[in-house]
Amino acid sequence: MDRTGGPFLTETEVLDAVEIYLTHRGFTIQSRVPMVRAHGDDLVAVAPSGRILYVEAKGQTSEQPHTQRFGQEFTRNQKEDHLGRALVKATRCVSEGGRFAIALPGDAVDAELIRASAKAFDRLGIAALLVNSMDRAVSIAAGRLPF
């Protein structure tokens, strides 16, 4: 269960899983936003090669009790909007020579959105990470991580 008491992953839980995944692969976490509503890079990690990876995470539900979607899964339109905003951030980073990953819950909608755009992720050099809601396992659905 997640922090909302339901079966849906919050952004914080997606970030927790990605942080564990990266550190087990030799990355060093340089910074992480202290709270979800904070501005800036959600997670910044340094690969064993010294390359810097910026990670933008999105949740499957709101973790803010005062919102309408608290404990409820975001709609497909909301997930598309979240992914679109993450992609704008990613393309800005890549345009400046950075390495970027977008981390999402591994639900059917997010996985399908990534599958439909996997070739573009690969061409742009953006990694798409999916987090399984049951065991928090992270998989690379598109692109690759810098090592």
Query: Which domain CATH number covers 116?
Result: 3.40.1350.10
- Dump pLDDT digits (tens) for 89-130: 999 999 999 999 999 999 999 999 999 999 999 999 999 999
pLDDT above 70 (res 2):
no
In this prediction, residue 36 has a pLDDT band, given cuts at 50, 70 and 90, of low
In this prediction, residue 1 has a pLDDT band, given cuts at 50, 70 and 90, of very low
Residue 1 lies in a domain: no
110 φ/ψ angles, rounded to the nearest 5 degrees: -60, -40
State the residue range of the domain holding 94. Answer: 11-142
In this prediction, residue 32 has a pLDDT band, given cuts at 50, 70 and 90, of very high
- Dump pLDDT digits (tens) for 45-95: 999 999 999 999 999 998 877 888 788 899 999 999 999 999 999 999 999
Cβ atoms of 59 and 11 within 8 Å: the answer is yes
Residue 4 lies in a domain: no
Residue 133 lies in a domain: yes
Residue 27 lies in a domain: yes
Which residues have C-beta within 8 Å of that of residue 126, sequence separation ≥ 6?
87, 90, 91, 94, 100, 101, 102, 142, 143
The model scores a pTM over 0.95: no
Residue 21 lies in a domain: yes
Residue 122 lies in a domain: yes
Residue 2 lies in a domain: no
User: Quick one: pLDDT at residue 17?
Assistant: 97
Round to whole Å and give the CA distance between 53 and 77.
28
3 φ/ψ angles, rounded to the nearest 5 degrees: -70, -10
**Total number of domains constituting the chain:** 1
Residue 3 lies in a domain: no
